[in-house]
Structure 1
């Protein structure tokens, strides 16, 4: 397998390494990943996260397992175990389906490796095209807002929503960015803020419940978020709190865009009600933990509701920024997603 490198994944002499995102921003630690249980554990613990990165990481692991001699039958079983690791992120399912097709070839080992390398390269290209389409929407001097983490840590390339924002910054548009801290795991505060510092993007970190005040003051011109799954009608799932932002944006007439590759669209999912929503550990809400240690601020037995994602209805979206272009509500109503994905 080729040596491949992204912010969160790399292969070195055929072996797969994953950047432990739970330790950021204080510490950068690369973990060797050689087994399916290890990959599943990393996905569930959010050491590896971001819908595109999860799908590519799972396929890189299968390619590694093929290279060390695992049978076709075992690899197919492993693909189904990996599929169940993150139920909301459809990129994982789509990428594994591509890998399963490769495993049907006579020389399945070579095919698996070539497939994983191609998926990695494809995501880099998809991210660049999304960035170009989205950055064209951004005007000089705008104040942008984003939620969760959608940069290079979540993809093989420059990212989805943060890729758009970074390209607008590189184009000299003099933007400023509001970064939601993003409960319950503070992925905006820990990860997006870290990426913005690396990229030199001017940003300010805010608590999730401050966005409404900023919009009311006219201090948010445009919102870009990512997605883990887009339904055929344009409804989409993203980190919990995205729906709230969309409602606020609609009320304050702030343009609201979802940025994702076409691999995030699930045509088998008619609308948002069919998107499975992962429930996470209650301790993520009772307190916080990370490289700095842990703290609990709620009663240890407090009953907790902790969905990882929520679903934003299509009628609240200004535009869908895909690698194939920017689509309006009218485009979605005419079935443009179906035509784009089936090409």
Structure 2
């Protein structure tokens, strides 16, 4: 399947040009805070703009990786007339700022480390750093979509005709590819997606995207999955992962773990999509869970849900131990969570 065909299979939010793009010296992305009520685009003109877009959830899921990389290319163009020492200092300062935006999901940090190497090589060779980095970004995006296709093919092989499927948050390209391929194979399925407080990614991003590709989807509240599973409506549980450790711990949007517990209790297998386990994260102890502003869960879409003086607690992610994971879906196949070090270590 050609890259253009892969892109065409995907819903609006996940098409390559809408996730993030570099345009006229700026970084452009679909504003996921406004979707699906508006198809608005947000432009960033410097690294700080890009960092705030990531922190403020303008982009999320896989988007921050490319927003961060394009921000580095943008910076390279902006400092191209400076000497190499100052350019290197600017690149490192920008990298550190962007890494701080995503303390739990380490994909951006790993890609930025590779990007710095590309940028330094371009400087040493007297090439345009901006052009060299943009060429590399497009190459890794091509590879990423090819991996998503493989993950989608493996994921679709797990779906049986008539399955009820539970997901959590916005599992993005690999899940939507899985559903699109399963649909092409003539399989009928019903997806259930929790709303995902406080940003409602399940209701605003996942459900409209699944609906767009023609697969039936029902929104449920975040406290319904165990009940829905107990009714026998769910046969498979699929999510993405913000991080997978080498020993098989899965870090994903808060709420993923409690759903995995319920699924395990009722014999429903939990499968997680990832392009790679992080070899710098060997175990649970190495994970940093992002604690977001409690104000975010005292409101919903700008409307207060409690009194302002009442305290709140908002860990943005939780950790599912490997014993609750039936398989990790990667470009290498469906792997045991206990066998990841062999492929990614």
TM over 0.5, shorter chain:
yes
Q: Which residue of 1 aligns with 2:113?
A: 97
Q: CA deviation at 1:218?
A: 0.8
CA contact (8 A) 2:247 2:341 kept: no
- Tell me which of 143, 161, 175 is aligned to 2:164: 143
Residues of 2 paired with 1:6 and 1:139: CA distance?
A: 32
Q: Which residue of 1 aligns with 2:310?
A: 302
Residues of 2 paired with 1:204 and 1:91: CA distance?
A: 30
CA gap of 1:315–1:340, structure 2 versus 1, over 3 A, is same
Aligned-partner SS, 2:224: helix
Q: Describe the superposition over 1:146-169 as per-residue Cα deviations: whole angstroms up to 9, x where unpaired.
A: 000122xxxxxxx13333233222
The 10-residue stretch of structure 1 (317-326 or 13-22) with the greater mean CA deviation from structure 2: 13-22
Aligned-partner SS, 2:272: strand
CA contact (8 A) 1:133 1:325 kept: yes
Q: Which residue of 1 aligns with 2:234?
A: 220
Matching of residues 259-270 of structure 1 within 5 Å: 259-262=273-276, 265-270=277-282
Q: CA deviation at 1:128?
A: 1.1
CA contact (8 A) 1:17 1:31 kept: yes
Count residues in correspondence.
320
Are residues 1:165 and 2:176 paired?
no
Matching of residues 157-196 of structure 1 within 5 Å: 159-196=173-210
Q: Which residue of 2 aligns with 1:317?
A: 325
Residues of 1 paired with 2:230 and 2:312: CA distance?
A: 31
Structure 2 unaligned blocks of 5 or more: 1-14, 81-86
CA contact (8 A) 1:95 1:119 kept: no
Q: Which residue of 2 aligns with 1:54?
A: 64
Q: Which residue of 1 aligns with 2:4?
A: none
Matching of residues 245-256 of structure 1 within 5 Å: 245-256=259-270
The 10-residue stretch of structure 1 (249-258 or 105-114) with the greater mean CA deviation from structure 2: 105-114
Are residues 1:75 and 2:91 paired?
yes
- Tell me which of 112, 135, 142 is aligned to 1:114: 135
TM-score, normalized by length of structure 2? 0.88
Q: CA deviation at 1:142?
A: 0.7
CA contact (8 A) 1:229 1:238 kept: yes
Q: CA deviation at 1:255?
A: 0.8
Aligned-partner SS, 1:257: strand
Aligned-partner SS, 1:193: helix
Structure 1 unaligned blocks of 5 or more: 152-158
Residues of 2 paired with 1:11 and 1:89: CA distance?
A: 23
The 10-residue stretch of structure 1 (107-116 or 17-26) with the greater mean CA deviation from structure 2: 107-116
Q: Which residue of 2 aligns with 1:9?
A: 20
Residues of 1 paired with 2:67 and 2:116: CA distance?
A: 15
CA gap of 1:48–1:187, structure 2 versus 1, over 3 A, is same
The 10-residue stretch of structure 1 (275-284 or 160-169) with the greater mean CA deviation from structure 2: 160-169
TM-score, normalized by length of structure 1? 0.89
Q: Which residue of 1 aligns with 2:299?
A: 287
Q: CA RMSD in A?
A: 1.6
